Structure 1
Amino acid sequence: DDKTLKLWDLETATEISTLTGHNHWVRGVAIAPDGQKAVSASDDKTLKLWDLETATEISTLTGHNHWVRGVAITPDGQKAVSASADHTLKLWDLHTAKEISTFTGESYIYCCAVSPDGLTIAAGESSGRVHFLRLEGGSENE
């Protein structure tokens, strides 16, 4: 809730760096499969892409109009998915920091995950509904 992310050395349990840039609570973080980048989700309605090697912000992803509560990165590290209280799930291109597509649910979307094969997104709503969306083809199953 201090608006920061902390990078830790797990072997020594010491802090390596503090990432600052959000202006509200940080609610989620996902680390790219190569361990070089991370994406954070915040109540400031943004996501931020971070370079973990240099502990610097690469870009800010904007497009939600309410809290961003969850984030996941695809297994290839090329895209991110964000879940928001604005009832939307957004797919982002991490190279361009641009929104690719938006799915609108019936209530707050609090969490999201990407399947290990990178083809399916799962999203949970506050209503209790869970959506499964195909990244290729755009079909949805509930």
Structure 2
Amino acid sequence: MDKTIRLWDVETSKSLHVFKGHKSYICCVDISSLQSNNKNENNKNNDIGVIGGNGYTICSGSCDSTIRICDIETTKQLNVFN
């Protein structure tokens, strides 16, 4: 309810980063690895590529009517959908 997403190291119980930006409660969070799903080099139609850094992103939805995508490695916000 503090409008943040907290990334923790579960082995050491240490906080790694606090993602900020939402202006209201966060309703949902998903962590994804957005890597290329194209097995055939000649067919580029289904190639979504990597979004940022190592490809691991956090996607969050909030009651502020936004969806935010952040790169976990760089901790930078990549996109905001209103």
Same fold (TM over 0.5): yes
CA–CA separation in structure 1 for the residues paired with 2:9 and 2:31: 14
CA–CA separation in structure 2 for the residues paired with 1:61 and 1:54: 19
Q: Please, what TM-score do these two structures have when normalized by structure 1? A: 0.42
Cα root mean square deviation, aligned: 1.3
CA–CA separation in structure 1 for the residues paired with 2:63 and 2:7: 20
Q: Once the 2 structures are TM-superposed, how far is the Cα of residue 45 of structure 1 from its aligned partner?
A: 0.5
Q: Once the 2 structures are TM-superposed, how far is the Cα of residue 53 of structure 1 from its aligned partner?
A: 1.0
**1:101 aligns to what SS in structure 2?**
strand
Identity of aligned residues (%): 34
Aligned counterpart in structure 1 of residue 70 of structure 2, from 72, 88, 92: 92
CA–CA separation in structure 2 for the residues paired with 1:67 and 1:49: 17
Where do 5+ consecutive residues of structure 1 fail to align?
1-42, 105-142
Task: Give CA deviations for 1:106-135 in whole Å, capped at 9, x if unaligned.
Answer: xxxxxxxxxxxxxxxxxxxxxxxxxxxxxx
Other-structure match for 1:74: 32
**1:95 aligns to what SS in structure 2?**
coil
**1:65 aligns to what SS in structure 2?**
coil
Q: Tell me the amino acid that sits aligned with residue 99 of structure 1.
A: Q
Pairs within 5 Å for 1:8-27: none
Q: Which structure's relative contact order is higher, taking Cα pairs within 8 Å and 6+ residues apart?
A: 2
